[in-house]
Amino acid sequence: MPAFRVNKVTPHIALLPMALTVLVAYIGAALWTFKTSFTASRTFASDNFIGAAQYVRLFDNERWLLSLHNLAVYGVCFIIACMVLGFLLAAFIDQNVSGEGFLRTVFLYPYAMSFIATGLVWQWMLAPGAGIEGAVQSLGFTSFRFDWIIDQELVIYTIVIAAVWQASGLVMAMMLAGLRGVDPEIYKAARLDGIPAWRVYLQIVLPMLGPTVATVFLLLCTAVVKLYDAVVAMTGGGPGTASEVPAKFIMDHLFLRSNIGLASAGAVTLLIPVLALLAPYAYARSRRKRA
Amino acid sequence: MFTVRTLAAACAWLCVCAPALAAAAAVAQAPKAEVIHWWTSGGESAAVKQVAQAYRDAGGVWIDTAIAGGDQSRAVTINRIVGGNPPTAAQFNTSKQFLDVIEAGMLNNVDKVARAQNWDQMLPEPIVDVIKVDGHYYAVPLNIHMQTWFWYSKAAFKKAGIEKEPESMGEFFAALDKLKAAGIIPLAHGGQSWQETVLFSAILANMGGKELYLKAMRDRDQATLLGPDFRKVMLAFKRLKSYVDAGSPGRNWNDATALVISGKAGFQVMGDWAKGEFTNARQIAGQHYGCMAGFNAATPYLIQGDVFVFPQTDSAQAVRAQQLLAKVVSQPDLQVTFSKLKGSIPVRTDVNAAELDVCARKGIEIMKDRGRQAGVTEVYLTPDQNGAMQDVLTAYWNTNMPVEKAQKSIANALKY
């Protein structure tokens, strides 16, 4: 009987540190941020409650609105590009190409680099007059222009390029793992029926990868919301405010501009889309468990 | 027997060593100051070494905590104050950066030194505005930087056929046109938001004069910010964009200075720290390059600078170290040697300026006229307001935002 008891208690004790971390560091900090967003805190947190004034001010701020817009553009482009590219790479490697191990490493390698390093490298590659533009011009195409990084409208796409370069390898690895789980008999059967390979992948294999795709999608979503370091390293939010993102707005107000209240309001606002994405997912999972 | 002998030996040892121990204790008693600052570039670290040496000469122990980057350094200072492990002293800019820290009661005042040296009379008003709160002084100013100097290349002037320094906005634009016609970049500009604010401050001060400048930046008067005079300033600022080269976005200020040094560009509007770049390139003020604090004798002199603050502490020893440091850094001789290396000018006007360069001497001369003294935007605005204005200015500069909208956005940003 006592042995049974110990067995029941042990996993809970083992989980305790993690549970405490989640409770204090994540949920506790989130609640504290929520509270602070309703105060007039500046350099230091204060208990001077001012209602929703920080939120009113936040949505009166053009840089914040532009940041949200940029994040939406970036998010859609980044997720679609990563998924498509990652899947294509995985399907390509799945053809039993020679040197698979080597190619897999090459595609996954960018993910091992920090975002700051990625950003700096791409900043050099995209700098007008040097990098890609300079290289093509030196080949004789003197009228070639690729100056997106100093263009108001296009600068956000340069950040998409850098981020996709970095993250699509990870998507490939996960998709490849999914593909390897597909029953080889299916390919054989499809070949017997004379179905072209692209249709097999698109209409048969891809639907079977549902859970993998969902996981990849969720991972990419969190990567979108926390976008900060690549922007700082590549453009510093510029030219002007053209490539500002919400996380940078929050960091600036937290540390440089001594306005913890406004920064907290921004952070809470940013939490809402994350919860909106997570809630249906959690709901679906809990229903499946019950069923 | 054995224990007695040991005891005797111990006594003898103690007798011999006691004076030495006492001496060691005395050294430990010397005021020990840990100072956080962000003076890490060549000229800056040479300058701070002078302060450290002067502090040691006065009998103190200097512990240097240099942190690269002002933002980073200030964040560390505030975190350590909040965390209960404050440094003895810390650098801030002469601005509202540390107002919240004063109001939270986390700084010791330096009234004793201030009274002894009669700061009320001696210091420029914009500096007193930020370091004196509720009748107490909370920071010791070290130097004065002027943010909006016009630097120009004499070689570029010659090539473009410009004979004299412009004395009005009209003449300034005429000079820029001449430079453009001669195939020279008229205005070297680093396209980062803070540099756009520097450029804008220069135009506001020169075009609007002290009255409009203070009404807009200090009083944050909505009618002024939305009015026609402020609009003229905004339009002139935007007009400068057409004199800037395409490579400007994101450029660092010193790369822009390099363009002036090499004669590829005519003008740059930048703080007097740019002098260090000219000096490193072996150029001499008045010979290879020129400096103008403004277009005429009424242009306000926009003051910025560095101060030391002294976090609250109960330790009497730390307070002693703080008082000693406050006394040391306000000595005229140290202020001159410090400024000479840093590129700034001393806070005190009762100094021997002979060994400073021609631009610094111009600055000291201007500072004697109290009517020309004003602060940079950060002296009047909170970091938050200043940042919000900076966002609007950089967006206005870089996009084709209509001037009415930019005016409204600035008024809105300064409303809070």
Q: Note the pLDDT tens digit of each residue in B150-162.
A: 999 999 999 999 9
Mutate to test the interface with A, among B107, B384, B401, B408 (most CBs of A within 10 A): B384
User: What's the per-residue H, E or C state across chain B?
Assistant: CHHHHHHHHHHHHHHHHHHHHHHHHHHHHCCEEEEEECCCCHHHHHHHHHHHHHHHHCCCEEEEEECCCHHHHHHHHHHHHHCCCCCCEEEEECCHHHHHHHHCCCECCCHHHHHHHCHHHHCCHHHHHHHEECCEECEEEEEEEECCEEEEEHHHHHHHCCCCCCCCHHHHHHHHHHHHHCCCEEECCCECHHHHHHHHHHHHHHHHHHHHHHHHHCCCCHHHHHCHHHHHHHHHHHHHHHHCCCCCECCCHHHHHHHHHCCCEEEEEECHHHHHHHHHCCCCECCCEEEECCCCCCCCEEEEEEEEECECCCCHHHHHHHHHHHHHHCCHHHHHHHHHHHCCEECCCCCCCCCCCHHHHHHHHHHCCHHHEEECHHHHCCHHHHHHHHHHHHHHHHCCCCHHHHHHHHHHHCCC
CB contact under 8 A, A259 and B71: no
Residue B20 pLDDT greater than 60, yes or no = no
CB contact under 8 A, B193 and A239: no
Residue A50 pLDDT greater than 70, yes or no = yes
Work out the angle at residue B231's Cα, subtended by the Cα atoms of residues B228 and B234, and round it to the nearest 5 degrees.
Answer: 165
The answer to whether the CB of A32 falls within 8 A of the CB of A271 is no
Instruction: Kindly state the average pLDDT of the residues A36-45.
Output: 92
Residue B414 pLDDT greater than 50, yes or no = yes
Residue tagged 């204090």 (tokens): A24
Contacts of B243 (CB under 8 A, 6+ apart): B176, B179, B180, B185, B186, B187
- Which residue in chain A is spatially nearest to B69 when comparing CA positions? A256
The answer to whether the CB of B201 falls within 8 A of the CB of B147 is yes
Q: State the pLDDT confidence band at B362, using cuts at 50, 70 and 90.
A: very high
- Cα(B296)–Cα(A170) distance, integer angstroms: 62
Pairing of strands B149-153, B265-270: antiparallel
Report CA-CA distances (Å) from B266 to A171, B164, B244: 51, 13, 11
Residue B17 pLDDT greater than 60, yes or no = no
A200's tokens: 């097999």
pLDDT given for residue A94 in this prediction: 87
Q: Name which CATH class applies to A37-290.
A: mainly alpha
Instruction: For chain A, give every domain's residue range.
Output: 37-290
Q: State the pLDDT confidence band at A3, using cuts at 50, 70 and 90.
A: low
Q: Please list every residue in chain A whose beta carbon sits closer than 8 Å to the beta carbon of residue B395.
A: 62-63, 240-241
Dump pLDDT digits (tens) for B86-122.
999 999 999 999 999 999 999 999 999 999 989 998 8
User: What are residue B229's phi and psi, to 5 degrees?
Assistant: -65, -40
Q: State the pLDDT confidence band at B28, using cuts at 50, 70 and 90.
A: low
Instruction: Kindly state the average pLDDT of the residues B171-194.
Output: 95
Instruction: Identify the top-confidence range among A149-153, B9-13, B177-181, B366-370.
Output: B177-181
Residue A290 pLDDT greater than 90, yes or no = no
Contacts of A10 (CB under 8 A, 6+ apart): none
Of B250, B391, B399, the CB nearest to A63: B391
Give the minimum alpha-carbon distance from B183 to chain A in angstroms, rounded to a whole number.
19
The answer to whether the CB of A75 falls within 8 A of the CB of A61 is no
Of B82, B246, B384, the CB nearest to A44: B82
Q: State the pLDDT confidence band at B170, using cuts at 50, 70 and 90.
A: very high
Q: Please list every residue in chain B whose beta carbon sits closer than 8 Å to the beta carbon of residue A129.
A: 247
Dump pLDDT digits (tens) for B131-152.
999 999 999 999 999 999 999 9
Work out the angle at residue B32's Cα, subtended by the Cα atoms of residues B31 and B38, and round it to the nearest 5 degrees.
Answer: 135
- Cα(A244)–Cα(B242) distance, integer angstroms: 24
Buried b (16+ CB within 10 A) or exposed e, A166-188: bbbbbbbbbbbebbeebeeeebe
User: What are residue B141's phi and psi, to 5 degrees?
Assistant: -75, 140
Q: State the pLDDT confidence band at B276, using cuts at 50, 70 and 90.
A: confident
Give the minimum alpha-carbon distance from A40 to chain B in angstroms, rounded to a whole number.
11
Q: Could you give the percent of chain B with pLDDT greater than 70? A: 93
Residue B27 pLDDT greater than 80, yes or no = no
Q: State the pLDDT confidence band at B69, using cuts at 50, 70 and 90.
A: confident
Give the minimum alpha-carbon distance from B386 to chain A in angstroms, rounded to a whole number.
8
Residue B26 pLDDT greater than 50, yes or no = no
- Which residue in chain A is spatially nearest to B251 when comparing CA positions? A239
Pairing of strands B301-309, B89-93: antiparallel
- Which residue in chain B is spatially nearest to A260 when comparing CA positions? B384
Instruction: Kindly state the average pLDDT of the residues B323-351.
Output: 90
Residue pairs between chains A and B whose CB atoms are closer than 8 Å: 77
Structural domains in chain B, sorted by start:
32-145+304-371 (3.40.190.10), 149-302+374-413 (3.40.190.10)
CB contact under 8 A, A152 and B100: no
- Which residue in chain B is spatially nearest to A54 when comparing CA positions? B416
Q: State the pLDDT confidence band at A4, using cuts at 50, 70 and 90.
A: low
- Which residue in chain B is spatially nearest to A148 when comparing CA positions? B249
Residue B1 pLDDT greater than 50, yes or no = no
The answer to whether the CB of B37 falls within 8 A of the CB of B91 is yes
Range with lowest mean pLDDT among A57-66, A84-93, A95-104, A226-235:
A95-104
Residue B382 pLDDT greater than 60, yes or no = yes
Burial label for A210, CB within 10 Å (0-12, 13-18, 19+), is exposed
Give the minimum alpha-carbon distance from B314 to chain A in angstroms, rounded to a whole number.
21
Mutate to test the interface with B, among A43, A145, A153, A249 (most CBs of B within 10 A): A43
What is residue A154's three-state secondary structure? coil
Q: Please list every residue in chain B whose beta carbon sits closer than 8 Å to the beta carbon of residue A258.
A: 97, 100, 382-384
pLDDT given for residue A275 in this prediction: 83
Report CA-CA distances (Å) from A254 to A20, A267, B69, B316, B414: 26, 10, 16, 33, 19
Residue B258: what residue type?
A
pLDDT given for residue B19 in this prediction: 46
- Cα(B363)–Cα(B356) distance, integer angstroms: 10
Residue B13 pLDDT greater than 60, yes or no = no
Q: State the pLDDT confidence band at B5, using cuts at 50, 70 and 90.
A: low
pLDDT given for residue A218 in this prediction: 87
Range with lowest mean pLDDT among A204-208, B8-12, B193-197:
B8-12
| Whole-number average pLDDT of chain A | 89
- Cα(A267)–Cα(A290) distance, integer angstroms: 34
Dump pLDDT digits (tens) for A151-192.
889 999 999 999 999 999 999 999 999 999 888 898 889 889
pLDDT given for residue B23 in this prediction: 46
